[in-house]
Structure 1
Amino acid sequence: MIDQLGQQSLFNILISLMVLVIVWWSVQAIRMELFVKDPEGLRAKAFLVILTIALTYLITGFILNYLNWSQSLRFLF
């Protein structure tokens, strides 16, 4: 039981890190000069980091919930 919990935690961390890398790579394509006054400033960089973390949280939550739900379908029948 404990081993399975540890494996699931490690899997969740790895999924989160993979999604973080993909989201950070994707966010770099945003033209910040359209949204902020100083795209090279500290505020713009902080905004990108916060945006990346928020999107990573949402996407990772969706993926992990979907995987859990799909694994729980076997208990339906």
Structure 2
Amino acid sequence: MDLSGANNVSGVVGVSGLVSIVVSLICIALAWWALQNLKLDLFIRHPKSAQGRLLQLLIAVVLGHFVSGFILDYMTWSQMIRYMF
């Protein structure tokens, strides 16, 4: 029985998962870095408290998730273009 096709598919899926994780973490880190410049004291009473930092982290995760979703979708769409011709 030839398992080279199955190994190839599992390798592609593994690389795709790894790329998704890395892109997501990079986008979350960039969102966190960008949020450091935001004046949260206009919206939060104590932005340096644990609750303020947690809110900032959650906002970074949400923003990073949306940005990484866009980047990963764009990468997938650009790879699909080769099947047009």
In the superposition, the TM-score normalised over structure 1's length comes to 0.91
Tell me the secondary structure at the aligned position of residue 60 of structure 1. helix
Q: Alpha-carbon deviations, 1:10-53, whole Å to 9, x = none?
A: 11111111112111111111111111112222321121011001
Tell me the secondary structure at the aligned position of residue 73 of structure 1. helix
**Number of the residue aligned with 2:21:** 13
**Number of the residue aligned with 2:35:** 27
Report which of the two structures shows the higher radius of gyration computed on alpha carbons.
Answer: 2
1:54 and 2:62 aligned: yes
Q: Is there any run of 5+ residues in structure 2 with no aligned partner, and where?
A: 1-8
RMSD: 1.0
Q: Is there any run of 5+ residues in structure 1 with no aligned partner, and where?
A: none
Spell out structure 1 runs of 4+ moving beyond 4 A: none
Moved more, 40-49 or 54-63: 40-49
Tell me the secondary structure at the aligned position of residue 37 of structure 1. coil
Equivalences, count? 77
**Number of the residue aligned with 2:6:** none
In the superposition, the TM-score normalised over structure 2's length comes to 0.83
What is the percent sequence identity of the aligned residues?
29
Counterpart CA distance in 2 for 1:42 and 1:3 is 41
